[in-house]
């Protein structure tokens, strides 16, 4: 299961590089590896193209881990609604308690927490294959199922997207029926019900207890 979390995090996370020569993902040209999305209004094409682009980067043995990190960041960032993900992880009961400064700090830390988890899994890719099912639409949202196949097992993941302007963006992922955002919401709710927003922010500032695990945790 830990192996498969790598692929999920590839799709929903970006992480910070430590390579001094590649600190700014905006300076990296991904044209060689990125598969073009001809119709941004087609969520099925978007997900397939992003997956293929990430695999192209990961399969390129001429690139080091940090350069791959920056490329994947640039490829994936436009396809994910990180602000909405943060709001949903906190929940509508607690989000109004945040000041604007606290919201910005929380969102930065929340995304960074996901980035850190992903960094430890970048080398787990071993040529697994993905099969996408056609998206199931419901008004302004769509759910796209992906089955990840290895030699001896399969893992099903459900990507949830919403319409943002003229394109689609991912706002949650379920792995074998378990939502990453709901997992975080349970943890955040426990902290905010007993403490303050600053308590949550301080908790997020702490390093993960076990960064090599696949669980969504603080």
d(CA 79, CA 37): 11
Provide the pLDDT for residue 38. Answer: 87
Give the integer Cα–Cα distance in Å for 31 and 20: 22
| Strand spans (E) along 78-211 | 129-132, 136-138, 141-149, 154-164, 167-175, 178-179
C-alpha to C-alpha distance for 131 and 164, rounded to whole angstroms: 25
> Per-residue pLDDT tens for 134-187?
999 988 899 999 998 888 888 899 999 999 888 899 999 898 899 989 999 999
Cross-strand partners of 148: 130, 155
- Measured from the Cβ of residue 157, the count of other Cβ atoms closer than 10 Å reads 22
- pTM to 2 decimal places: 0.80
The DSSP string of 59-118 is H-TTS-HHHHHHHHHHHHGGGB-HHHHHHHHH-TTTGGGS-HHHHHHHHHHHHHHHHHHH
Output the six-digit token pair for 61.
Answer: 């043995």
Q: Classify domain 2-205 by CATH number.
A: 3.10.450.710
- Locate 81 and state its tokens: 């609604």
Query: For the chain, how long is the longest CA-to-CA vector?
Result: 50
206 close to 218: Cβ distance less than 8 angstroms? yes
Instruction: For residue 9, name the pLDDT band (cuts at 50, 70, 90).
Output: low
Q: What is the pLDDT of residues 43-89, one digit of tens each?
A: 999 999 999 998 999 899 998 888 888 888 888 888 889 889 999 99
Cβ-based neighbours of 202, under 8 Å, separated by 6 or more: none
């Amino acid at each position: 299961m830990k192996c498969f979390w790598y692929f999920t995090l590839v799709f929903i996370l970006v992480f910070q590089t430590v390579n001094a020569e590649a600190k700014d993902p905006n300076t990296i040209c991904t044209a060689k590896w990125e598969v073009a999305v001809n119709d941004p209004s087609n969520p099925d094409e978007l997900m397939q193209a992003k997956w293929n682009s990430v695999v192209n980067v990961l399969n390129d043995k001429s690139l080091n881990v940090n350069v791959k990190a920056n490329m994947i960041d640039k490829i994936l960032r436009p396809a994910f609604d990180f602000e909405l993900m943060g709001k949903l992880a906190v929940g509508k009961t607690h989000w109004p308690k945040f000041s604007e400064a606290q919201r910005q700090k929380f969102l930065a830390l929340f995304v960074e927490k996901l980035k850190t988890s992903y960094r430890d899994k970048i080398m787990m890719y071993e040529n697994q294959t993905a099969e996408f099912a056609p998206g199931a639409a419901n008004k302004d949202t769509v759910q796209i199922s992906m089955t990840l196949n290895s030699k001896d097992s399969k893992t099903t993941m459900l990507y949830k997207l919403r319409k943002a302007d003229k394109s689609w963006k991912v706002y949650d992922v379920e792995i074998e029926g378990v939502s990453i955002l709901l997992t975080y919401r349970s943890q955040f709710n426990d902290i905010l019900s007993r403490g303050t927003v600053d308590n949550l922010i301080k908790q997020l500032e702490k390093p993960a207890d076990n960064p090599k695990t696949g669980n969504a945790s603080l």
